[in-house]
């Protein structure tokens, strides 16, 4: 009888602990739902942005593409910043097309920019996608943080950490889709909706926001961009 009385005294405390755990799980779940719902997804028509002067195209060569499959595509050489758009963290989706021209085709997305000299960038080298040199294939996608961490410094000091091969491998002259996920201190890059990241890196500065733009290195050939989506 004593044992039964003792257990009956313990049970209410167990119930309280269970209730606390359930409440904590509910709060975590609600916080997650709030975070997801708070993110906004915006689709950008690049042709419209260009014609409405909503791209900062200083020192940038740019034109509208005549492509039957990509009606909202533009081609550029340089960097085109989206006016009045600040990017913090989230997901960037974009279709890109470079050229199989050795050491001439470099294109991607720049973000957390202060100006044309201070920014982060994730970019691709399509001429390396299917290069016969297997090492060069591992130089297909790159992260840089300018001006302190360019590709040359990162390659010498941290080989194959801030650049990698892409998977799956697109044709070097073909359109491909890139998904770039920026968190508080890291970036992950996915190609053609793959579930396997082609590149995962830690960001190399303390900037948490800034301008975002389309980036195509000059001097070099132009890069093509379409279907930009930003979720943050």
Q: What is the pLDDT of residues 117-128, one digit of tens each?
A: 999 999 999 999
pLDDT category of residue 92 using cuts at 50, 70 and 90: very high
Do 191 and 213 lie in one domain? The reply is yes
pTM recorded for the entire structure: 0.84
How many folded domains does the chain comprise?
A: 2
Do 113 and 28 lie in one domain? The reply is no
Do 119 and 61 lie in one domain? The reply is yes
Do 101 and 198 lie in one domain? The reply is yes
Do 29 and 126 lie in one domain? The reply is no
Do 55 and 16 lie in one domain? The reply is no
Do 44 and 61 lie in one domain? The reply is yes
| Residue 181, domain extent | 40-231
Do 24 and 102 lie in one domain? The reply is no
Do 31 and 49 lie in one domain? The reply is no
Nearby residues of 50 by Cβ (< 8 Å), 6 or more positions away: 57, 62, 64, 74, 80
Do 130 and 96 lie in one domain? The reply is yes
Do 73 and 6 lie in one domain? The reply is no
Q: Average of pLDDT values for 77-103?
A: 97
Do 56 and 102 lie in one domain? The reply is yes
Q: Average of pLDDT values for 24-42?
A: 58
């Amino acid at each position: 009888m004593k044992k039964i009385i003792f257990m009956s005294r313990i049970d209410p405390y167990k119930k309280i602990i269970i209730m606390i755990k359930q409440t904590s799980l509910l709060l975590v779940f609600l916080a997650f739902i709030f975070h997801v719902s708070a993110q906004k997804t915006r689709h950008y028509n690049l042709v419209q942005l260009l014609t409405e002067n909503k791209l900062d195209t200083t020192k940038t060569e740019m034109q509208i593409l005549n492509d039957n499959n990509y009606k909202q595509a533009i081609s550029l050489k340089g960097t085109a910043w989206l006016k009045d758009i600040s990017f913090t963290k989230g997901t960037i989706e974009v279709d890109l097309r470079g050229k199989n021209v050795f050491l001439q085709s470099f294109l991607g997305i720049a973000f957390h920019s202060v100006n044309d000299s201070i920014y982060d960038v994730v970019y691709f080298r399509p001429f390396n996608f299917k290069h016969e040199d297997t090492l060069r294939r591992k130089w297909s996608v790159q992260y840089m943080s300018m001006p302190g961490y360019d590709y040359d410094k990162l390659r010498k000091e941290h080989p194959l950490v801030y650049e990698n091969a892409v998977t799956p491998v697109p044709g070097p002259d073909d359109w491909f889709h890139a998904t770039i996920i920026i968190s508080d201190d890291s970036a992950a890059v996915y190609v053609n909706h793959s579930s396997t990241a082609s590149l995962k890196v830690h960001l190399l500065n303390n900037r948490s926001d800034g301008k975002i733009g389309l980036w195509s290195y000059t001097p070099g050939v132009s890069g093509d961009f379409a279907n930009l989506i930003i979720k943050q």
